[in-house]
A and B are shown apart, each in its own frame.
Chain A
Amino acid sequence: GENVEQHPSTLSVQEGDSAVIKCTYSDSASNYFPWYKQELGKRPQLIIDIRSNVGEKKDQRIAVTLNKTAKHFSLHITETQPEDSAVYFCAASPNAGGTSYGKLTFGQGTILTVHP
């Protein structure tokens, strides 16, 4: 089955700096890669995703890049703000149809702390 590794496990930055979180996956059939943000005690919120037919996607201060050859994808947050502090999870899914439809495998999470 799919295995997703996420690094680093903790990340501390100053307000205004950039933050980068990286994930690798094992199943070459994976073609959908979402990122979730989870604040303490809350539900995970989908913040951005990418599908395997594109290499990069951007939404304001957040961007995700995908390298299918190397089987890794990354989350980039620019101009970080204290409200960006949370746990971030990457995930991968084959979405090849059949019983693997929508089956997400998550990374272990990255605790991001943005210091004012």
Chain B
Amino acid sequence: DGGITQSPKYLFRKEGQNVTLSCEQNLNHDAMYWYRQDPGQGLRLIYYSQIVNDFQKGDIAEGYSVSREKKESFPLTVTSAQKNPTAFYLCAVGDGPYEQYFGPGTRLTVT
């Protein structure tokens, strides 16, 4: 999981603005995932991608968008349509259908 970077660590935005969170990996793994974590709660899957140029909606995709143009990168855009965007966003990477390893996360605050 040392090969997964998320930037920035903290992000502040005004309501109504779109914001893009970065996730990069140098592990050469095919699968990448985005999760959202709210205080005192588990992780919820937003989007995932099993291969370049393909991605699937997770359980809470509304108000989010992604792209997977390169194997190394899976950026997440939080749009103004997301009702409660303030959360801890975690990117994960997997090699095969089993183990997933998380990046350090980005804390997004929208006011």
Contacts and interface: CB of A to CB of B under 8 A. Distances in A.
Interface of A: 1, 4, 6, 32, 34, 42-46, 49, 51, 89, 91, 93, 95, 97, 99, 101-109
Contacts of A95: 97-98
Nearest to A51: B98
Contacts of B98: 32, 34, 49, 51, 93, 95, 102
B44 interface: yes
Contact of B104 (A43, A51, A105, A106): A43
B43 A46 contact: no
A89 B42 contact: yes
Nearest to A94: B97
Contact of A101 (B31, B40, B105): B31
Nearest to A111: B40
Interface size, B (range): 20 to 34
A103 B45 contact: yes
B53 interface: no
A51 B58 CA distance: 22
Contact of B100 (A102, A105, A109): A102
Contacts of A108: 41-42
B50 A102 contact: yes
Contact of A105 (B45, B96, B102, B105): B45
B97 A43 contact: no
The 8 closest A-B pairs by CB, nearest first: A106-B42, A95-B97, A43-B102, A106-B43, A108-B42, A99-B56, A102-B97, A44-B102
Q: Which of the listed residues B33, B42, B44, B98 has the most CB atoms from chain A within 10 Å of its own CB?
A: B42
Contacts of A107: 42
Contacts of A4: 42
Contact of A104 (B40, B96, B100, B105): B100
Given A34-B99, A103-B48, A109 B33 contact: no
B103 interface: yes
